[in-house]
Structure 1
Amino acid sequence: MDKSPLRVVRGVEGLVRPPGWHGATEDNKYGVLFYGGWPRDSAPSAVRGLATRQFNTMVTNVETILGQSTAQEVRAGREWYPSGQDHSRRMGKLAGHRIDSDATDVGAGVIAALSPSVEWDLNLINAHSMATTGRTFEPYGKVQTDKASDILRGANPEDTVITGGSEGPNPRNKSYHFYRNLKDPSDPAWVTVDRHAHDAATGSVITGGERGLSAIGRY
């Protein structure tokens, strides 16, 4: 019996779980075995082969979803991050920044800092509240609100605020990628791999406690 916390994505026909993919379960911390500690060039050939098959399956799943999407859905997807950039600029201007680029940078940082495990609408509501009142609309984690407060007080999101660490931006941090995508949707160097992207690529939905975004190994 499959005891994985994953279930097939509903409403999409033809999606396939990548071979060897079990999600970030207790006995398999890394869904993709390639992430299991080997440098890319020195991983055993069997691991590299499995990773390649997993990747190819994920590409096929994404293509399958796109193939079943309506023109309106595809257009909405293409417009999502440009719309997020507009929201970011608006938040920054609410916080007092007059120059568009500065406003977008600040707004993107605040939105990204307040994004973990929060639906988009509430994310925007909390960011709007932070920009105008200095506090979130609903109670939220201190680490995230402190980051947003630091940004609003002048800290540079590009430095350490998004990651909250002293080592600078973490390229594996989901929130940092989200910040970069909101700031400049045209930059292909940054890809936000969140729970929704996970579901699309793997053809499965994380359920229950696994639905959160804290398991970095899964992404």
Structure 2
Amino acid sequence: MIPVKSTEEQRIDYTRAITEKWHAATSDQKTRGRDWYVRAHEFSVEISGGDAKKGAGVLAALSANKSWAENCRIAQKAFTEGVASGHVRDALTKANRIMAGTDPSEVLPMQLKTGYFYLCIADPENAEPVVIDRHAHDIAVRKIYGQRDRGLGALRRYNLLADCYRAAAQEIGEIPSKVQAVTWVVHIERN
């Protein structure tokens, strides 16, 4: 697990790893990564009958430990059936509260991955939120952690990595969510 308090040298190295992964992307990977949250936003509108915030909130609530395809499937099913299923109780409770009309920002942990995932899907051009998931972590630290704990529930560790993505985005000239999404595409397609 990376330290919560990092040195300037470590921050520079994490940021460099992110920019290197960006530059390793093919043109196609950059296109798909740049469009990732736009497509997710469109899907959130589609499944929720036009309410992007509600759709994005349910997608985020049901995202933990699910592939994107599975996340989409159970979110769409939740809207179709009127009740969420196929996940742990906490995620289902959050999704059902959002579908019942509670603002996602009142339900989701807004300072961690799930809240930021919601914000990126709800507004793909928002330049503030950065999703730090296991892949974003592994990109920054140049190591595949597999099933090991990354400690991303610690706000300072999460924010450290989010700040590195913001620094990389500034260097690249993109918004952080697009840098995260492009590097995610490269990372998951590495094999």
TM over 0.5: yes
Cα drift, residue 136 of structure 1:
4.3
Contact map agreement 2:84 2:96 (CA 8 A) in 1: no
Letter in 2 for 1:120: W
Deviation at 1:196, TM superposition (A): 1.2
The structural deviation recorded for 1:135 is 3.8
**C-alpha offsets along residues 111-152 of structure 1, whole Å, 9 cap, x if unaligned?**
000011111000000100100113446x31011111111111
| 1:59 alignment partner in structure 2 | 15
Higher relative contact order (CA 8 A, sep 6+): 2
1:33 and 2:4 matched: yes
Contact 1:32 1:51 in 2 (8 A): no
Between Structure 1 and Structure 2, the one with more helix by share is: 2
- Show structure 2 runs of 5+ residues with no match: 159-191
**SS of match in other structure, 1:33:** coil
Structure 2 CA distance, aligned partners of 1:58 and 1:112? 26
Q: Distance in 1 between matches of 2:10 and 2:148?
A: 24
RMSD across aligned positions (CA)? 1.7
Whether contact under 8 Å (2:45, 2:52) holds in the other structure is yes
Q: Does structure 2 conserve the Cα–Cα contact (< 8 Å) formed by 1:85 and 1:184? A: yes
Matched, 1:192 2:131: yes
Cα distance in 2 for partners of 1:107, 1:86 equals 9
- Rg larger for: 1
Q: 1:215 to 1:191 in 2, by over 3 A?
A: closer
Q: Which of 26, 37, 42 is matched with 1:70 structurally?
A: 26
Name stretches of at least 5 consecutive residues in structure 1 with no aligned partner: 1-22, 24-30, 35-49, 94-99, 164-169
Q: Is this contact kept in 1: 2:44–2:55, CA < 8 A?
A: yes
TM-score, scaled to structure 2: 0.76
Residues 62-110 of structure 1, C-alpha deviation per residue, up to 9 Å, x if partnerless?
A: 12112221100111110111111111111211xxxxxx4xx10100000
Shift of 1:209: 4.6
Q: How does 1:70-109 map to 2 (within 5 A)?
A: 70-93=26-49, 100=50, 103-109=51-57
Residue identity over aligned pairs, in percent, reads: 27
Q: Which of 78, 85, 98 is residue 151 of structure 1 equivalent to?
A: 98
Residues in 2 aligned to 1:208 and 1:180: alpha-carbon distance in whole angstroms: 26
Q: When the two structures are aligned, how many residues end up with a matched partner?
A: 156
Q: 2-side partners of 1:175 and 1:33: how far apart?
A: 20
Q: Does structure 2 conserve the Cα–Cα contact (< 8 Å) formed by 1:32 and 1:54?
A: no
